[in-house]
Amino acid sequence: MARSAETGSGVSFGTADETELILESLDEFVEQEVEPLADELGETLTNPRLGHEPDGRLTDEVLEAKDEVRRKSAEAGFYAMNMPEAVGGEDVSAVTWYRANKRLATKDVPLASDVLAGPEGPKPLLAQAEGQQVERYLEPAMRGEKTTAFGQTEPGVGSDSPNMETRAEKDGDEWELNGTKQWITNAPYADFIQVFARTTPQEEAGRHGGITCFIVEEDEYEIGTLNNAVGATGVQAEVHLDDVRLPADRVLGSVDNAFYDAMSFLGLGRVEIGATAVGHAEGLLDKATEYANEREAFGEHIGRYQAVSHKIARGRANAMAADTVGLKCAWLLDQGDPAIAESSILKWFATNAFWEIADDVVQLHGANGLAEENLFMDRLHRARIQRIVEGTDEIQLNTIAKQYGVET
């Protein structure tokens, strides 16, 4: 697909015709392919006690459903449509990718989040695959047939990732990896993990240099404890790398340059999180508005009370502001601008707006807001998680301050 008119030099909040067709096609795909599968599984998807094993792992039934959605989405051309055409993507603009992620997040449909590639799918870093890496890892990931994970975070190192303790040492024609990763999304189910390890000491390569990315297959590492965070049960886990020996052709990208490669794609990840935060928030506000206009108390629809209507009004204002930042950030990425400050503003503002809106909507629904058969607490949990992943609130504020001239 060609780049849409949204990426031109002018400023427009309209949706380009091509993008609108994609969004309409996504709606049809969810209705025809995702909803029937979700309905068939029923409470297995919505009740955490039914969709997980005793240790927290997702059941085989749920995993198979997620795999089916990914494969069908890839066949339809949606799954990794933001990836370059040269590797099998559609090269859609960042603005289109933002709008698509947002549209899916507005839906109250389990499995809808699997339609577009998330942490388990191909990202620009994997597009650097060469030689046998293309056929073995990149192409199956593009088709939704294999999943991956991004192995960077460690038990003692979160946002300060350059200080990672995982090491890779060259031994002849091979590399030997040792270390532990933690909170790695999709690690329990990945076919391979993109593992970051220090290959040259900081004193030689500098703080951000000397880090290399390796492709490590599922039978080469061990899964430790599942990190069953509230709202993400069975999704993340520890990864143990004990004397893992890899051939030289498992290096993804160039030796010692992986941190810079990863940071160059950071804005896109924050656009995705911002889009889902805005989409979830808008979906919640739609439900809150419907409830406020139907629910009666003391002889009036509760929407007539300012304690209710103001919650919804503030939520709409914050969601609109976050959406505006998201569109600008995506537009800047399409112009080749790294959008460092803007992507941090988006990530911080959108996820906090989502958090406040989710909390207000739970409160507005009273006891029904706490009931597990409704989506409200699930969204609140997701909102809390999103304020931490891809850089905490504090990291985003530090970045914003630095980008605007504050010496931090």
Half-sphere exposure of 11 (CA within 13 A, CB side): 6
Q: Which two tokens stand for residue 332?
A: 């800047």
Residue 115 and residue 163 share a domain: no
Give dist(CA 189, CA 302) in Å, integer: 45
pLDDT at 11: 62
The domain of 288 spans: 265-403
User: Please, are residues 274 and 347 in contact by the beta-carbon 8 Å criterion?
Assistant: yes
Whether 273 maps to a domain, the answer reads yes
User: Please, are residues 338 and 260 in contact by the beta-carbon 8 Å criterion?
Assistant: no
Inter-helix orientation angle 60-76/17-29, to 10°: 150
Give dist(CA 360, CA 188) in Å, integer: 34
Half-sphere exposure of 177 (CA within 13 A, CB side): 32
Nearest in space to 182 (alpha carbons), one of 142, 215, 221, 141: 221
Residue 246 and residue 283 share a domain: no
3-state secondary structure of 134: helix
- Domain termination site, one of 123, 140, 170: 123
Give dist(CA 369, CA 379) in Å, integer: 11
Tell me, rounded to whole angstroms, the distance of Cα 212 from its chain centroid.
22
Tell me, rounded to whole angstroms, the distance of Cα 406 from its chain centroid.
29
Whether 128 maps to a domain, the answer reads no
Report the CATH number that the domain containing residue 301 is assigned in CATH.
1.20.140.10
Residue 242 and residue 276 share a domain: no
| Sequence-separated (6 or more) residues with CB below 8 Å from residue 39 | none
Residue 272 and residue 255 share a domain: no
Whether 142 maps to a domain, the answer reads no
pLDDT at 10: 57
Q: Please give the chain's pLDDT, 408 residues, in tens.
A: 344 445 455 567 888 899 999 999 999 999 999 999 999 999 898 887 889 999 899 999 999 999 999 999 999 999 999 999 999 999 999 999 999 999 999 999 999 999 999 999 999 999 999 999 999 999 999 999 999 999 999 998 877 788 999 999 999 999 999 999 999 999 999 999 999 999 999 999 999 999 999 999 999 999 999 998 888 889 999 999 999 999 999 999 999 999 998 888 889 999 999 999 999 999 999 999 999 999 999 999 999 999 999 999 999 999 999 999 999 999 999 999 999 999 999 999 999 999 999 999 999 999 999 998 889 999 999 999 999 998 999 999 999 999 999 987
Residue 116 and residue 54 share a domain: yes
pLDDT at 9: 54
Half-sphere exposure of 175 (CA within 13 A, CB side): 26
- Domain termination site, one of 261, 294, 312: 261
Give dist(CA 306, CA 318) in Å, integer: 17
Q: What is the bridge-based pairing of β-strands 211-217 and 222-226?
A: unpaired
Radius of gyration of the chain from Cα atoms? 22
Residue 299 and residue 255 share a domain: no
Residue 393 and residue 270 share a domain: yes
Residue 396 and residue 283 share a domain: yes
Whether 55 maps to a domain, the answer reads yes
Q: Is 1 exposed, middle or buried (0-12, 13-18, 19+ CB in 10 A)?
A: middle
| Amino acid residing at 15 | T
Report the CATH number that the domain containing residue 66 is assigned in CATH.
1.10.540
pLDDT at 174: 96
| Sequence-separated (6 or more) residues with CB below 8 Å from residue 178 | 166, 167, 168, 241, 242, 243, 244
Residue 295 and residue 178 share a domain: no
Whether 295 maps to a domain, the answer reads yes
Give dist(CA 351, CA 273) in Å, integer: 8
Whether 138 maps to a domain, the answer reads no
Q: Which two tokens stand for residue 276?
A: 């889902």
| Amino acid residing at 365 | H
Report the CATH number that the domain containing residue 214 is assigned in CATH.
2.40.110.10
Whether 131 maps to a domain, the answer reads no
- Domain termination site, one of 209, 232, 261: 261
Residue 277 and residue 186 share a domain: no
Domains in the chain, number: 3
Nearest in space to 123 (alpha carbons), one of 226, 272, 228, 232: 272
Q: 10 Å Cβ neighbour count for 2? A: 10
Q: Which two tokens stand for residue 138?
A: 């990149």
| Amino acid residing at 378 | D
Give dist(CA 145, CA 151) in Å, integer: 20
Residue 358 and residue 287 share a domain: yes
Q: How many residues does the chain have?
A: 408
Residue 272 and residue 363 share a domain: yes
